[in-house]
Structure 1
Amino acid sequence: MTCQQLLKASTDCLGKMNLEEYFERIGFHGSFDELDLATLKLIHKQHVMSVPFENLSIHCGEKNVMDLDAAFNKIVRRGRGGWCLDNNFLFGWVLREMGYDTTSLGSRVFDHSLNDFGPLDSHFINKVVIDGKAYITDVSFGTSFQLWEPLELVSGMDQPQAAGVFRLLDQGEMWVLEKTGRKPEVLNPEFAKSSLVKRNETNQIYCFTLVPREAEHFLEINHKLQNETSLFTNKSICSLQAPTGFRALIGWTYGEVTYKPDEGVDVFDIRKIMDDEIEQILLEKFNIKLQNKLQPVKTSHTAHSEILHIHVWKLIRNL
């Protein structure tokens, strides 16, 4: 069935979630008569190229709620992005509506300050089974750790993608996702000598089990991620994948990263921006127009610029 046929056949009244609006949002105009891996790869990639990973609502005086209708309206109808509790929640619904065998899972993100995975399932992902093979989909991690395509759930197999080589490791009670990246080439001298720039290493991203999780499982973490001590409430984050890499606006720092796998490097073009540039950058680089004024960083721009610098590029590449 094509998207046009689906549109004609739809009996959903205006206001209800429907696949054709989602497909229009991500620019998918193909057929999904065959619920195959090729179609899954295509919609996964088009989602990450069209829908930013972002937490801007929190910095516009709004709350993020764990609600599928709210996620659909924000992402599809308002042209916004979201974090994993929006994007992957919505993507799981899309896959089920299409007919894919889909199970939602929870994952614990690696915390470098603890040198261990966090204690709670703070990241929402989905598992899809096609012809007896399982795949992990994740359209909302952002920056250089963002998957462009699903990963086959096979232990120890290198799975190269644009951002680097991803690997899933079966460690008995849990699975671990890791990524081996390339060397960073930083164009701006202000950032080039940062001690945070780590060279050509493998990073653990998150761990997960195969226990199915419903939306209710994430209600507590949705609340915790919006409390005063959370990084998400202390600075705004907006990241979008691009055909040659990704772009990101985090607090008052804007960067564009170009992947150059043939040269073994990722080129980082990073600069600080002023308040009066934010609205234009959001519109031109992320196709986002906010209804309320954005406060990028909770604390003072000047007093905390060094803290911002540190946290920004930890998020960008886990540097």
Structure 2
Amino acid sequence: MEGEMNLEEYFSRIGFHGSCNNLDLATLKLLHKQHVLSIPFENLSVHCGERITMDLEVIFNKIVRSSRGGWCLENNFLFGWVLRQMGYDTEMLGSRVFNSATNGFNPSDTHLINKVVIDGKAYITDVSFGVSSQLWEPLELVSGKDQPQAAGAFRLIDKGDHWVLEKTGRKPKVVNLEFAKSSLVNQKLKKPIYSFTLVPREARHFLEVSHSLQTDPSSLFTNKSICSLQTPTGFRALVGWTYSEVTYKPEEGVDVLDMRDIPDDEIDQILREKFNIKLQNKLQPVNKTAYYTL
């Protein structure tokens, strides 16, 4: 450990220059957006021979000091810590990701999110889902209200014993025709993303699932190497060897997908130039059959 974790290092990592004293919605929105524009959603550790842990100091060193990204159990755990250190009223929640293969939600909490209460209103923050399902700002915890963001219209639905996050997006417009029928291209304009309850969770709630996600042969994260980063106009993604740059064109009702395959000897360069990631260990890209769309 190189000294104690501190907020200033995190703020520098995401380029946040606002006041730490204003615990208001505007500050939360800025923190949220700066995080997703600066820190990738990625599971590359799984394919570099590295173990992912729920140790906050290890996560801080990886993401903040080593300019890496992480998956939700790292990014949202770190983001929750930041909010608590600043003085926000926040708690962690667990959510169950929608599985298109089974047309239902996963049976266990595989995704970590945070709830924040400001002036009596609750908001859901999620800085680590990636690709076109990534929130750029917190969502107010109200049922049935369209909350438009760059990627499309998100809404939260109160189902009584749980909540559901869903999104209505735009049609994909694939520039490179050889990728027009790629399994990565999402053809569903409206889709559920995950469900969650408001039961507070602690880090230990996710220990077993963290181990399973990086070791189970049926896990999405053992079957695909994924790295994505939001940009001011959309996002970038590297899934296996397929690199995509997606530009949101709401005025045309489309998302423009520019996709190409990257040879092995250019993977490190793409990670460095497009995601600001320099890996310590050699990445073994993986793109086996498992349902995943941009």
Q: TM-score range by the shorter chain?
A: over 0.9
In structure 1, the residue matched to 2:227 is 238
Give deviations 1:121-163, integer Å, cap 9, x for gaps: 0000000000000000000000000000000000000000000
Structure 1: segments with no counterpart, 5+ residues: 1-12, 299-303
Instruction: Give the Cα–Cα distance (whole angstroms) in 2 for the partners of residues 34 and 77 of structure 1.
Output: 26
Alignment map for 1:299-318 (pairs within 5 Å): 307=289, 311=291, 314-316=292-294
Instruction: Give the Cα–Cα distance (whole angstroms) in 2 for the partners of residues 229 and 175 of structure 1.
Output: 26
Q: Which amino acid is 2:28 matched to? A: L
In structure 1, the residue matched to 2:141 is 153
Preserved CA contact (<8 Å) 2:183 2:293 = no
**1:266 and 2:273 correspond:** no
Q: Judging changes above 3 Å, is the alpha-carbon distance between structure 1 residues 195 and 219 closer, same or farther for their aligned structure 2 residues?
A: closer
Corresponding pairs, count: 293
Larger-gyration structure (1/2): 1
Structure 2: segments with no counterpart, 5+ residues: none
Q: Secondary structure at the match of 2:37?
A: helix
In structure 1, the residue matched to 2:125 is 137
Q: Secondary structure at the match of 1:81?
A: coil
Shift of 1:315: 3.0
Instruction: Give the Cα–Cα distance (whole angstroms) in 1 for the partners of residues 33 and 114 of structure 2.
Output: 15
Q: Report percent identity of matched pairs.
A: 74
**1:182 and 2:182 correspond:** no
User: What CA RMSD, in Å, does the superposition of the two structures yield over aligned residues?
Assistant: 1.5
Q: Which amino acid is 2:22 matched to? A: E
Instruction: Give the Cα–Cα distance (whole angstroms) in 2 for the partners of residues 166 and 130 of structure 1.
Output: 20
Q: Secondary structure at the match of 1:315?
A: coil
Q: Secondary structure at the match of 1:166?
A: strand
In structure 2, the residue matched to 1:289 is 278
Instruction: Give the Cα–Cα distance (whole angstroms) in 2 for the partners of residues 88 and 44 of structure 1.
Output: 10
Q: Secondary structure at the match of 2:227?
A: strand
Structure 1 runs of 4+ with >4 Å offset: 194-200
* TM-score for both structures, normalised by structure 1: 0.89
Question: Which of 89, 94, 99 is equivalent to 1:101?
Answer: 89
Preserved CA contact (<8 Å) 2:184 2:293 = no
Instruction: Give the Cα–Cα distance (whole angstroms) in 1 for the partners of residues 56 and 5 of structure 2.
Output: 9
Q: Secondary structure at the match of 1:225?
A: helix
Shift of 1:14: 5.2
* TM-score for both structures, normalised by structure 2: 0.96
In structure 1, the residue matched to 2:40 is 52
Q: Judging changes above 3 Å, is the alpha-carbon distance between structure 1 residues 145 and 295 closer, same or farther for their aligned structure 2 residues?
A: same
Preserved CA contact (<8 Å) 2:97 2:194 = yes
Shift of 1:32: 2.3
